[in-house]
């Protein structure tokens, strides 16, 4: 029943987003999500920058993604447990978003914290195995001339620590970060138990630029969907 309920919510979300709406302010969305989802943490700070390379060796900077909402997570491909689950959750979110006009406005970014092992081919294979669509998703790693621990330091700058063990395993938490079009970190969704629809609606609020307050001449998407939960 829970699967059917989630599917119905996703369908309602996608249907509502297809038509233009006037969204409420981000502050109102934040408050509603704080009341609704205990795994949601609002934020408003400059997102830590990075300069890395993608699986094909192209240099990618966070600044290159300005103008798009970024959904960012950290994993490493040798992780035997939570990382594959996190990748599949990101693929689920991407599939929901990519059925809406937000597809062109959102970029999914996964950064590996094990650049030594996670070569370009490993990254490509991992994304394909977990159903991630390269049309608006990229897997980033360190460049050959960068320190091996650089991506773990980037994760730490985002408040997420990956501790290297003797057996090549890393102790770490799970967080999905959301960055707005201006490079500001706007939210963290902790763990894997948050409702995917909540993150998608938060991303929709950002694509509608609700971080810039304005009036509400007609009910917005948030009002239309709140009653479904």
Max Cα separation, the chain?
Answer: 59
| Cα–Cα dist 196/194, whole Å | 6
| Cα–Cα dist 102/106, whole Å | 6
Contact indicator for 100, 17 with CB cutoff of 8 Å: yes
Task: Please tell me the CATH code under which domain 2-208 is placed.
Answer: 3.40.30.10
Sequence-ordered alpha helix ranges (H) in the chain: 2-18, 26-36, 82-97, 120-129, 150-157, 196-207, 221-226
pLDDT by residue, tens only, the chain of 229 residues: 444 444 455 555 555 554 444 446 888 888 999 998 999 999 999 999 999 999 999 999 999 999 999 999 999 999 999 999 999 999 999 999 999 999 999 999 999 999 999 999 999 999 999 999 999 999 999 999 999 999 999 999 999 999 988 778 999 999 999 999 999 999 999 999 999 999 999 999 999 987 665 444 444 554 555 555 4
Backbone angles phi, psi at 10, to 5 degrees: -60, -40
Angle at 59 between CA 200 and CA 111, to 5 degrees: 45
Under DSSP, the state recorded for 103 is G
Beta bridge partners, 184, equal 46
CA distances from 186 to 22, 41, 144 (A): 20, 9, 31
Contact indicator for 149, 61 with CB cutoff of 8 Å: no
212: CB partners within 8 A, 6+ apart: none
Give the pTM: 0.84
């Amino acid at each position: 029943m829970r699967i059917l309920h989630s599917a119905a919510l996703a369908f309602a979300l996608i249907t509502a987003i297809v038509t233009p709406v006037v969204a409420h302010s981000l502050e109102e969305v934040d408050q509603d999500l704080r009341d609704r989802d205990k795994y949601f943490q609002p934020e408003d700070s400059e997102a830590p920058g990075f300069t890395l390379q993608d699986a094909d060796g192209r240099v990618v900077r966070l600044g290159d993604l300005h103008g798009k909402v970024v959904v960012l997570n950290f994993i490493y491909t040798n992780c035997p447990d939570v990382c594959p689950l996190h990748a599949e959750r990101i693929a689920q979110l991407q599939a929901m978003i990519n059925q809406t006009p937000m597809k062109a406005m959102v970029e999914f970014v996964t950064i590996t914290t094990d650049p030594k092992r996670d070569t370009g081919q490993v990254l490509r294979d991992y994304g394909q195995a977990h159903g991630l669509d390269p049309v608006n998703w990229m897997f980033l790693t360190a460049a050959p001339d960068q320190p091996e621990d650089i991506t773990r330091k980037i994760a730490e700058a985002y408040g997420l620590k990956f501790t290297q063990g003797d057996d090549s395993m890393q102790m770490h938490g799970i967080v999905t970060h959301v960055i707005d079009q201006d490079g500001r970190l706007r939210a963290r969704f902790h763990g894997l138990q948050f409702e995917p629809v909540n993150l998608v609606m938060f991303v929709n609020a950002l694509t509608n630029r609700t971080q810039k307050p304005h009036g509400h001449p007609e009910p917005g998407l948030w009002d239309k969907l709140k009653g479904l939960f």
